[in-house]
Structure 1
Amino acid sequence: MLSLMRKHAGSWLIKLALGAIVIVFIFWGVGSYRAQRENRVAVVNGAVISLDEYRAVYDQLIQQYREQFGDSLDENLIKTLGLKKKALDELIDRELLLQEANRLGLRVTKEELARAIQQVPAFQRNGHFDQMQYERILAYNRMSPETYEARKAQALIMERIQALILSCIKVSDAEALETFKWREKQVSFKYVLFKPSSYQDVKPTPEEVKTYFSKNKERYEIPPKVKVRYVTFPFKEFESKANISEEEISQYFELNKEQYATPKKVRAQHILFKVPQDAKQEVIDSVRKKALKVLKEARAGADFATLARKYSDDPGSKKKGGDLGFFTRDRMVKPFSDAAFALAPGKISEPVRTRFGWHLIKVTAVQEAKEPVLAEVSDKIRRKLVKDAARTLAYDRANEIYDACYAAGRIDSVAEAYKLNVHETPFFARTESVPGIAMTEEFARTAFDLEENEISEPLELSDGYYILEKIDQKPSTIPELKAVENRVRKDLIRDRQQELASNDAEDFLNCLKAGEEFEKEAGKRKLKVKTTDFFKRFGPIPGIGFEQELINAAFSLTPSKPLADTVIKGNEGYYVICLKERKAPEEKEFEANKSEIKSRLMLQKRQECMEQWLAGLRRHSDISIEKHFLE
């Protein structure tokens, strides 16, 4: 059954843009996973979350992020995004939601279910629900109407309980104002930076290097290594075996027309009159008057491109006469797009205000929205369906070979019988790259989890499926000092430099705490005092960059307590900081942005509320996760 499920999950049919269908399908699967498999990754109050369920959700997450990041989605990004944990958390949260909804007795009536299904765009033709379309799409996805409707009802129940939980959340004007003040407040500070790299006189003796090594041997431990043989099933090699009919292309096109429609585009020139984000109203008005003068010239017949080269503050388009090329509505900030898309070709807008300043916009051409034509996108659809089908074929072949390898107890004899190439790695550590392997971390994790001579199940990586057999391993060892002496010496020098910089920073800070003036004490020590420009809580520090501990410390300073209590370690070294000035935002700026602030705060509060509510459910639930599952 797993093979069947993975086969259909990998096919293009399951990847249709069906909105709620895909959600229902992915999160509850085809048939009852829990009854089909005994293997599990977690248990939530007695309800089992199976490995198959997890894989379905994880695969869907990978697909979503691959569409967003493309080839940039490598193993490091997957790890950074925490997609493995995210997939499991989604399953646990959904199980908790359903259990709580059941406890509260939440139900969905037949009428409510029917209305929800009829509103799914994929089931509609010409804006109306189409029963034949509905049945055909479900049939393509190997799902009966009864199964889909039962799961859609569960999805609606989940939506209902979430709405119930979040219905009491409100955001007052006072709350929004407080948030605005907190977010928009600005500070500047003066500081002295103690850079470890400036301490160049550190020259450790051979005896000191030896002592340092003996105290830190674990730093230089050579990790355990393994060697594996493996066979591969690259997706590319199965593309030639994927037979996609014209009917399948046509069906996919009909179900996904909106993906291939060409949205309306305009081509425009603009002249930007920049306004600082913290500008006072008189400055904003003054810049607008300048824009109006230039507008008068433009409408009197002056060449717009010449005016843009002369007046525009946009370095990206100024030299091109303000030309921005063609763009869709979502490519520009809303006020700019609204104005541009409302203009006829040749017309020039009144000054338009955005967060960048005032704009004069001239539309030079318009490309109207265009409905897609199958003939124009047929090749593109075919390539997509071929790739999806190839993944399915590769998976089926990998499972067939795995069954044979499992029965034989080894890879090489099976590979010879099936005329497959067998590859063998050199010894590699868990964190080392493996020649020829795209997603080394997943490959290494699987290899290290195997017992000697054990064969892995098919492992899906970015370029295909792999079956591994561990053939040898080496335990971890501590090298002789001679083999790592240069590295040890560099580490010792670095640690000494860090210590010296930290000590000098602490000594300087202690003198300031004792009452010495910042600039005066720095002058005595021949230290350079620098001052930052104003910056906000969520922006970079001018001249320094994003240093979260520094930012946190700076915003904790007050006129009555301007000196930071501690030395702050940053990327460049050790900082001693003192408040220079604080600047509060003007309340009239709040009034202009109140609606947006309240919407953002509402979204944040809803998210926090949901997270806290689920955390409460987790605390009072019996949840067990299989040992080492997420390692």
Structure 2
Amino acid sequence: MWLRYLRYGPPVQGVDCIMTTLDRMRRHRGWLKWTLALAGFALLVLGFPLIQPQPETPGALTDVIAQVGDQEITIGEFRSVYLAQLNQYRAQSGGEITPEILQSMGIDRQLLQQMIDEYAALQEAERLGMVVTDAEIRERILSLPLFQQNGVFIGEEAYMQMLRVQQPPMTPADFEEQVRRSLMLERLQAAVTDWITVADEDLQKEHEARNERVRLSAISFRADDFREGIEATEDDVDALYAQNANDYLVPEKRRLQFVLIDVPALQDAFNPSVAEVQAYYDNNTGRYTQPTNLRTSHILLRTEGKDEAAVLAQAQELATQAREGADFAELARQYSEDEGTKEAGGDLGPIERGQMVPEFEGAAFALAQDEVSDPVSSMFGIHVIKATEKSGGESQTIDEVRESIVQLLKQESAQARAEALAQAMAAEITTPEEMTVAAQRRGLEAQESGFAGPGEPILGLGFSPEVTTQAFQLAEGEVAGPITTPTGPAFVTVTDVQDPYVPPLDEVEARVRDDVIRRKAFVAAQERANAVAAQLKEAEDFTAAAEADELTVNSSELIARGAAVPGVGLNASVEAMAFSMDAGETSDPVLTGNSAVILHVHERQEADPVDFAATRETLRDELMALRQNQFFVAYIEKAKTRLAIDIDMAAFAQAIAV
């Protein structure tokens, strides 16, 4: 049996089948071990899918966020994934991660996109005729380490109990649907990518690219340092404008009429009562409590096949001995039946909330430093627990956090009211006239912006890429909204369009003149760099010769590809030149856009062929996985073009309101 259970799903494949009690307490995985820094489908081979079967729920939870072909993603389905991710981050950060932080990082949108991709992949697998049989599902479940003890399936009763302790609890049908989807995704990825190989030549090149090192010096000649004294004549300006007039094209711009629901104004207008502040504090004490740092040891007595009353009596006797001064670690070594911890005196190491089964966790965190528990029964047996180290857990008083709660309640109230207003107005608005009427009915005013182009701030709304994007897709007479802006939800319509045009020279003369000077300065920098490079190639000591010419030399230690070159930074052209040179060689100037750079390699360290031989197959696996994942992502993107995909941003906003 195991002491540790998983909250969101089984561990990834490839874990040893025979796991100690401590191992099982430590393993904590999501359905996919979903890594947001990577493309979603790069991880399909690792475990279980994000999308989960959902029970029928009334009201808003069944509203559709996204339609993916013939499949729907509901608010309830998305929230189950989103809240699981949020709770996982909160547990890892001690409560510091908030929904606002997740949303500012774009994790909410990434999760939705991953669910869309997953639905698309499942439909692609079905289109290709792929099926997973009940026998295959059963075989996979029986092979999961989570459901094995000493390499043998734990039995139906324990299997059902493990599913019931999930948060939320799972039925066998739900779990088996998860397994079916996981197998379907694995099968699709294998079918699409199994042809991909990695040649030995590619392995050699990759090993060299990862392990070669150079120690170098760099001298940069920046164009800006050569601007002084350079002039742009009228002929220069006329010639550059005549040659590159389209470089000064003014793009299409649009004038908007908009109605803004000002969240900061709503926030200023609301003041929570003393009772509301107290209620929030009482309901969220964990937010104002330092995480408890707890290290525990335990003695586990198994009950399977034994007289449970006798085992309980033995556990009580051991607890009494420990309280009376007996060495707990020695008792654990002598009596504990947890083979993974008994030799360490029962030490489980630091534990966190959510790691243990509820019975164990509740008893452990209730203990004071060095306190020994009464016997605790769990699905694994009977435990005697000792808190060997404990700190933290102190709470801030309400007076210490009152102001932050007031601001939070003001923000939440304003946001909720803004969203309610936006949804009510959206139901009434289909034309610009209706937008004006709906605004006036609520004491809001339709405002006019100036002309703004893509990427430019909008007068009255500031920088709002989403507004700009939708505004440039609107036809005359259409209204878009509610659209999220930095200040609050907005509805917009286009009132005028300014077509793109090339302005006359007198409108852009200052820009053209500056471009002439910049170009001449860059030419001067190149000329100086060419002359210096020729001298330094003949010098016996690169650094001494450069410094004698009063040049700034930036030198490095041994660096690998991908490292910043001192005085230059990250630049692909400079890196390519540096790693193509022999030790003692000086380069011709390398142009980096605004500079000319001379490089000198002092030392070169080649990749070790012995290390390559030892790591060849590991490297092959890495490159294979990378290429397969890249191809699969591209394949699914193409598959999505065959599906109608529609996202309801209003429903999405509702789903992430926590």
Q: Which of 589, 596, 600 is 1:578 aligned to? A: 600
% same residue: 14
Matches within 5 A, 1:123-522: 130=164, 134=168, 152-153=178-179, 155-157=181-183, 161=187, 182-199=209-226, 200-234=228-262, 237=266, 262-264=291-293, 368=391, 370=393, 391=415, 394-406=418-430, 409-437=433-461, 439-503=463-527, 505=529
Q: For each residue in 1:76-134, what CA deviation from the matched residue of structure 2 results, as whole angstroms up to 9, or x when unmatched?
A: x87xx9x9799657633552256338744335647977999x99xxxx9xx96657974
| SS of alignment partner, residue 189 of structure 1 | strand
Q: For each residue in 1:274-327, what CA deviation from the matched residue of structure 2 results, as whole angstroms up to 9, or x when unmatched?
A: xxxxxxxxxxxxxxxxxxxxxxxxxxxxxxxxxxxxxxxxxxxxxxxxxxxxxx
Amino acid across the alignment from 1:569: L
Q: Which of 600, 603, 614 is 2:632 aligned to? A: 614
Amino acid across the alignment from 2:467: F
In structure 2, the CA distance between the partners of 1:535 and 1:616, relative to structure 1 (3 Å rule), is: same
CA contact (8 A) 1:225 1:429 kept: yes
In structure 2, the CA distance between the partners of 1:214 and 1:454, relative to structure 1 (3 Å rule), is: same
CA contact (8 A) 2:52 2:174 kept: no
| SS of alignment partner, residue 536 of structure 1 | coil
In structure 2, the CA distance between the partners of 1:196 and 1:373, relative to structure 1 (3 Å rule), is: closer
Per the TM alignment, residue 574 of structure 1 is displaced from its structure 2 partner at its CA by: 0.8
Matches within 5 A, 1:80-91: 88=113, 91=116
Per the TM alignment, residue 608 of structure 1 is displaced from its structure 2 partner at its CA by: 0.6
Q: Which residue number in structure 1 is paired with residue 314 of structure 2?
A: none
Per the TM alignment, residue 203 of structure 1 is displaced from its structure 2 partner at its CA by: 1.5
Distance 2:410 2:394 in 1: 24
Contiguous gaps of at least 5 residues in structure 1: 1-16, 139-144, 267-327, 331-344, 346-365
Distance 1:497 1:213 in 2: 18
Q: Which residue number in structure 1 is paired with residue 641 of structure 2?
A: 623
Distance 1:115 1:488 in 2: 70
| SS of alignment partner, residue 470 of structure 1 | strand
In structure 2, the CA distance between the partners of 1:98 and 1:503, relative to structure 1 (3 Å rule), is: farther
CA contact (8 A) 2:539 2:545 kept: no
In structure 2, the CA distance between the partners of 1:375 and 1:258, relative to structure 1 (3 Å rule), is: closer
In structure 2, the CA distance between the partners of 1:196 and 1:618, relative to structure 1 (3 Å rule), is: same
Distance 2:563 2:52 in 1: 38
Distance 2:415 2:179 in 1: 31
Distance 2:505 2:351 in 1: 64
Per the TM alignment, residue 228 of structure 1 is displaced from its structure 2 partner at its CA by: 1.8
Distance 2:447 2:239 in 1: 44
Distance 1:520 1:370 in 2: 59
Distance 1:552 1:190 in 2: 15
Deviates more, 1:154-163 or 1:214-223: 154-163
Distance 1:455 1:31 in 2: 34
Per the TM alignment, residue 401 of structure 1 is displaced from its structure 2 partner at its CA by: 0.7
Per the TM alignment, residue 569 of structure 1 is displaced from its structure 2 partner at its CA by: 2.1
Distance 2:543 2:166 in 1: 84
Per the TM alignment, residue 532 of structure 1 is displaced from its structure 2 partner at its CA by: 2.0
Over the aligned positions, Cα root-mean-square deviation in angstroms equals 6.5
1:549 to 2:573 alignment: yes
Q: For each residue in 1:237-287, what CA deviation from the matched residue of structure 2 results, as whole angstroms up to 9, or x when unmatched?
A: 3896999999x989987xx97996614299xxxxxxxxxxxxxxxxxxxxx
Amino acid across the alignment from 1:453: G
CA contact (8 A) 2:452 2:458 kept: yes
In structure 2, the CA distance between the partners of 1:25 and 1:466, relative to structure 1 (3 Å rule), is: farther
CA contact (8 A) 2:120 2:639 kept: no
CA contact (8 A) 1:501 1:573 kept: yes
Per the TM alignment, residue 553 of structure 1 is displaced from its structure 2 partner at its CA by: 2.1
CA contact (8 A) 1:228 1:469 kept: yes
Distance 1:146 1:259 in 2: 38
CA contact (8 A) 1:26 1:60 kept: no
Per the TM alignment, residue 613 of structure 1 is displaced from its structure 2 partner at its CA by: 4.7
Per the TM alignment, residue 205 of structure 1 is displaced from its structure 2 partner at its CA by: 1.2
Per the TM alignment, residue 432 of structure 1 is displaced from its structure 2 partner at its CA by: 1.5
| SS of alignment partner, residue 488 of structure 1 | helix
| SS of alignment partner, residue 556 of structure 2 | coil
| SS of alignment partner, residue 264 of structure 1 | strand
Q: How many residues in Structure 1 have an aligned counterpart in Structure 2?
A: 477
CA contact (8 A) 2:254 2:498 kept: yes
Q: Which of 68, 81, 100 is 2:125 aligned to? A: 100
Distance 2:399 2:194 in 1: 47
Contiguous gaps of at least 5 residues in structure 2: 1-27, 35-47, 90-95, 148-157, 296-349, 353-368, 370-388, 648-658
In structure 2, the CA distance between the partners of 1:573 and 1:527, relative to structure 1 (3 Å rule), is: farther
Distance 1:233 1:497 in 2: 50
| SS of alignment partner, residue 449 of structure 1 | coil
In structure 2, the CA distance between the partners of 1:162 and 1:96, relative to structure 1 (3 Å rule), is: closer
In structure 2, the CA distance between the partners of 1:69 and 1:403, relative to structure 1 (3 Å rule), is: closer
